Copies of this chain bind each other. A is one copy, B any other.
Amino acid sequence: MKINEHFLDLKDSYLFATVGRKTAEYKRAHPDKEVIRLSIGDVTRPLAPAVIAAMHKAVDNMSRTETFKGYGPDQYCYAYDELLDTILASYARKGVTLEKGEVFVSDGAKSDCGNILDIFSVDNTVLVPDPVYPVYLDTNIMAGRKVVFADANEGNGFLPMPDERVQADIIYLCSPNNPTGAAYTCEQLKAWVDYARANNAVILYDAAYEYFVTDARCARSIYQVEGAKECAIELCSYSKTAGFTGVRCGYTIVPHALVRKGTSLNKLWARRQSTKFNGVSYITQMGAAAVFTEEGEREIAENIGYYRENAKIISDCLDSLGIWYTGGKNSPYIWLKCPNGMKSWDFFDYLLENAQVVGTPGSGFGANGEGFFRLTAFGTHENTRRACDRIRALLGK
């Protein structure tokens, strides 16, 4: 038996482990100091009441023979109509018309982001932005695909645009971006759609943070851009939208119009999912189906509003200090340029030691992240305000 040797090419990421270790060491050495974490990449607000009620009802249904549910329905890869209907309605509100058969419900965007690669040949060149969510890179290394990078940097506001000299077959875009918080406008995305169509490429568009978009010019779905259905797959998640990081539900759109050499990518993905997946928990699906209802949307808007206020507290702090950053407006992430030309890990140590605030060094997300730093809006108002007061006191000197 031979193992998949491409796994040996993967680099272990010690980013969050090192952040955790350094923070713990500091706390041990300074038990009197209170450390505030602005490094949290996970939601902290509870599920919306509409979701909770729907899940209790679904659990009750599983307790009686008459209402018990086994395997999900076959027709749409185990997704229930109730859930698919709300997803279509949510897209309709963004001006995008989809059919049920174009929506694939899964246990989350991270799973789909890795699994979707099954339908592509190993013999493709993959374009990945730098800095980037590590999953895009690692899943392709595991399969042995050639990876090239698109430079995201201060000059392009961490929103790289297509380079005609680069030949790429599969293109990852994440907007609003993790880790930089930068968000493409529809106009900018049009250039990527045009590039993909001209080059027979497919865009994998990660829209996990789309509910944080407030700027009307920014895209909430790549299908708001003309021609995108012929070249893009969109990955969506309830994780950040509705606090489902511990519930696990996402959906991936593979349009019927996405066809290459007569082969429908929708059919390939349906075959992949019906063979290597068996659907999402009925209880989870019923909870998710409550998200894009009138009541659900009102409730999740409250939670997102809470995080947005944190993002504004951080942005205002950086504005007052004259520090360059992206994100914060259409995203729970704020990506700042370390002051005085400091390197990412030096700034991490400086902030921890002098303000007792923990963030995430940008260099952990790729070479272009060096000299940058990520703060997140998932804490409490109180902690976010106090952290910003300390940052202002330290850096405003």
Chain A contacts to B: CB under 8 angstroms: 1-5, 7-8, 10, 42-47, 49, 52, 55-56, 59-60, 62-65, 68-72, 107-108, 110-111, 113-115, 118-124, 134-135, 138-139, 142, 169-170, 200-202, 243, 245-248, 260-261, 263, 265, 268, 271-272, 275-284
Contact = CB atoms under 8 A, between A and B. Distances in A.
Contact of A68 (B45, B60, B248): B45
A201 B1 CA distance: 5
Nearest to A110: B278
A4 B275 contact: no
A201 B245 CA distance: 38
A259 to B, nearest CB: 10
B63 A52 contact: yes
B121 A268 contact: no
Nearest to A265: B3
B46 A65 contact: yes
A148 to B, nearest CB: 14
Contacts of A271: 7, 10
Given A62-B46, A139-B276, A283-B283, A69 B246 contact: yes
**A108, A260, A275 — most chain B CB neighbours (10 Å):** A275
Contact of A43 (B70, B111, B202, B279): B70
Contacts of A10: 271
A76 to B, nearest CB: 15
A275 B138 CA distance: 7
